[in-house]
């Protein structure tokens, strides 16, 4: 075995269970599953892309996105997909640390932040595709 990845579908905390639902259409059938994710902080996670694939559902470990979830608000995904889990973690942590932006910012501001972060990250990492 060269590696190990544990994907959770919920977090149990002092307020109850926090889970994220994911709906996908597979051959005309609407399928509802719990979205897999890796928690990296309180209500902060990265999640692999989940897509329909023929008769099944594919969990893509080559496409990751930062995600904020919790008991009191909507689930929010940054409009950014990285090719590695580490890239998504770096984006999520940078976003959380930036006092100039919040998860409730308008979509255009989220997009602009993600573009700036992606440009800087790709330059530093010599071209990881985000």
SS3 94: helix
Half-sphere exposure of 128 toward its Cβ, with a 13 Å CA cutoff? 22
pLDDT in tens, 43-70: 999 999 999 999 999 999 999 999 999 8
What separation in angstroms does the CA of 58 have from each of 33, 39, 66, 68, 92? Answer: 12, 20, 18, 22, 23
pLDDT at 115 over 60: yes
pLDDT in tens, 21-41: 999 999 999 999 999 999 999
Report the alpha-carbon distance of residue 102 to residue 57 in Å, rounded. Answer: 32
Q: What are the phi and psi torsion angles at 29 (to 5°)?
A: -105, 125
CA nearest neighbour of 108 among 79, 130, 129, 82: 79
Poorest-confidence range of 14-18, 28-32, 51-55, 115-119? 14-18
pTM, two decimal places: 0.88
Report the alpha-carbon distance of residue 106 to residue 120 in Å, rounded. Answer: 22
């Amino acid at each position: 075995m060269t590696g190990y990845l544990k994907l959770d579908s919920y977090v149990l905390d002092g307020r109850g269970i926090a889970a994220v639902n994911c709906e996908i259409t597979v051959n005309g059938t609407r399928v509802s599953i719990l979205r897999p994710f890796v928690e990296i902080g309180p209500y902060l996670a990265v999640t692999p892309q989940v897509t329909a694939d023929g008769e099944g559902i594919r969990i893509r470990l080559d496409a990751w996105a930062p995600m904020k979830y919790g008991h009191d608000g909507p689930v929010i995904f940054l409009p950014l997909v990285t090719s590695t889990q580490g890239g998504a973690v770096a984006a999520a942590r940078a976003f959380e640390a930036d006092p100039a932006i919040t998860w409730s910012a308008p979509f255009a501001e989220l997009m602009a932040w993600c573009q700036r972060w992606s440009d800087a990250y790709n330059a530093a990492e010599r071209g990881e595709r985000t």
